[in-house]
Structure formats: C-alpha cells, structure tokens
C-alpha cells in the first residue's frame, strides 16, 4: 500500500533508540502518570523514535503531551508497464503525532500536494493530475517495550478519509490495522516485523476486499549518529478483478546529530522486485519532536 496512503516513512524501528555498545543500561522511570495535560518532563523523554525512513512502522509512541512531525521533503516513484510510465511526486507528506498518554499517541497524515504524470511511449501522449492526497487518521497503542526492553509491540488502527480528487484517490473511506513487533538482536541489530491488514474498496463496483502486507526490516547503528536499515516488503491485494502481489527491497539511513537529538534527517530508496511493483522510489525527509 502506498505510504502516502498509509504515510510515509520511515528507519525501520527507532534510529535513536538502537542501543550503542558503550551506553550503560538504566532502569526505565515510571511515567504512567503523564498525560496530554501533564506532559512528560524533558528529563524523562525517550530518544527520538520515528516511523521513517523505510516502509516499517515502529511500536514506539510519542511521549505524553509532546508533538512530533515526520515528513517526506520530496518523494518520487516511477513505474513502467507495457510502455506506460507513471511518475508520482510528493511535495512533502507530513505526519503529525501527539502523545496522549505514555503509551498512546494519535496521528494525522496528508500529502498537501502531489503530482501524477503518465506517459504512453506508444502514442506519445502525456497526461497529469495534481492536488492534495487523502487524509489518514491513526492511533497507536503500545502494549510492550515503549520505555525499553528487548521486545516491543503495538496495535495501530487507521481510517482513510477520501480528501483526494478522483484521479489521485478512489473516493472511498477505507480502514485497517498494523501490529508492529520489534526485537533486539545480537550485535546491536534491531528487527521489525510489521503485519498490516486492510479493508479496501473494490476497484470496480461496490463492496470491499482484503489487503495484507508485511515486512522484515533490519536496522543497525553504524555510528552514534547514523542508523542504516535494509528491508524486504511484500503486499497482496485480493481485489475481485484480480489479485495483485507486490514486493520490494528497501534501503534507508537516518542521521540524528548529537547536538540536536530531537531532529532527524533521512533518506532511502525502494527497489521493486516484480512487475507489479514500482521499479524505483526515492525520497528524503525530516522529523522533529516538540
């Protein structure tokens, strides 16, 4: 599912939270009393944790009473099939998150401006459409590992509100749920397994059908400021007009400067592994906690 439809993106788990070998272990403070109206003090904030830059979604939430912005700055996707090339460009894709409790946040994502250009090499005809994308509303409920530990787990339901024009969207309300799982591996590696289950509108006629995707996303702190990741992703869309399966191999990197630990700069490329998947997607993005 396109990340602008299911946002964006992001390193595979938590670029800042990957343990560095020289960092001493410490007990997590009791933060259960912090809420939207009793914000987490700066001294007790978790390291910056984002759902960028790869396709994975992390189990971590934003600390209570704090905002976080995660966005593509520019995202371009190219797909060629039977002589027709489709290029999709996103000019920012902001996700705004708000911590409600220590383990729950709410999130909203919309692409304010995107452009789709279609070129038919046979006829030489080029068409395009542009405008705002659909609005995605999410809530993430962390059930395990928000403040440390070797395992993290969350449930994140979402609903898509059809704010995009007909060419850019399908005009339907759609919903789904993600269940991200994070595991600490030996030698400072992190693994995210990210099952997603969606109820999507049929391409033709009324009704809905099942869509599912998942991934294996590995990340590693190459330095104390830079985390790199690699990921294998797959999606199966069981539309009545025909099942479509996609797969990609994704690479990403994120930089959190030591002097600005609430800021992240990232980028990545996604490489399609079959004809149904866009051959190339590339992007750069930023994140900031407030």
CATH code, 98: 2.40.160.40
pLDDT at 11 over 90: no
The per-residue pLDDT for range 127-153, each reduced to its tens digit, is 999 999 999 999 999 999 999 999 999
Within a domain: residue 32?
A: no
Within a domain: residue 20?
A: no
Within a domain: residue 24?
A: no
User: What is the domain range of residue 226?
Assistant: 42-289
**Which of the pair, 12 or 80, is modelled with greater confidence?**
80
Within a domain: residue 67?
A: yes
**pLDDT of amino acid 27:** 63
Percent share of the chain, pLDDT over 90: 87
Within a domain: residue 22?
A: no
- Nearest 10 degrees: Cα torsion 234, 195, 157, 205: 40
Within a domain: residue 126?
A: yes
Average pLDDT over residues 66-78: 98
pLDDT at 211 over 60: yes
The answer to whether 226 and 252 have CB atoms below 8 angstroms apart is no
**Which of the pair, 121 or 11, is modelled with greater confidence?**
121
The per-residue pLDDT for range 238-254, each reduced to its tens digit, is 999 999 999 999 999 99
Rounded CA-CA distance 160/174 in Å is: 5
Mean pLDDT of the chain: 91
Q: How confident is the model at residue 10 (pLDDT cuts 50, 70, 90)?
A: very low
Average pLDDT over residues 164-188: 96
Within a domain: residue 78?
A: yes
The per-residue pLDDT for range 256-286, each reduced to its tens digit, is 999 999 999 999 999 999 999 999 999 999 9
The answer to whether 48 and 287 have CB atoms below 8 angstroms apart is yes
- When divided into structural domains, the chain yields a total of 1
Average pLDDT over residues 201-226: 97
């Amino acid at each position: 599912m396109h990340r602008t439809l299911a946002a964006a993106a992001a390193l595979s788990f938590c670029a800042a939270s990957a343990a560095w070998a020289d960092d001493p272990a410490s007990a997590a403070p009791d933060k259960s009393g912090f809420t939207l109206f009793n914000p987490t003090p700066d001294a007790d904030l978790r390291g910056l944790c984002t759902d960028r830059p790869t396709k994975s979604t992390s189990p971590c939430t934003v600390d209570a009473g704090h905002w976080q912005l995660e966005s593509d700055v520019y995202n371009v996707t190219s797909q060629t099939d039977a002589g027709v090339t489709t290029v999709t460009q996103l000019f920012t894709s902001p996700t705004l998150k708000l911590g409600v409790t220590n383990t729950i946040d709410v999130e909203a994502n919309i692409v304010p401006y995107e452009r789709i250009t279609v070129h038919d090499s046979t006829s030489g005809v080029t068409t395009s459409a542009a405008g705002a994308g659909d609005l995605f509303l999410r809530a993430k409920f962390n059930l395990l590992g928000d403040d440390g530990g070797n395992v993290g787990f969350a449930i994140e339901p979402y609903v898509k509100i059809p704010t995009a024009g007909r060419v850019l969207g399908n005009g339907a309300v759609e919903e789904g749920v993600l269940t991200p799982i994070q595991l600490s591996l030996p030698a400072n590696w992190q693994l995210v397994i990210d099952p997603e289950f969606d109820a999507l509108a049929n391409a033709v006629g009324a009704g809905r059908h099942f869509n599912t995707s998942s991934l294996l996303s590995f990340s590693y702190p190459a330095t104390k400021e830079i985390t790199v990741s690699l990921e294998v992703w797959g999606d199966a869309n069981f539309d009545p007009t025909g099942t479509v399966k996609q797969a990609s191999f994704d690479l990403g990197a994120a930089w959190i400067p030591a002097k600005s630990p609430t800021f992240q700069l990232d980028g990545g490329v996604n490489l399609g592994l079959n004809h149904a998947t866009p051959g190339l997607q590339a992007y750069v993005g930023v994140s900031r906690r407030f």
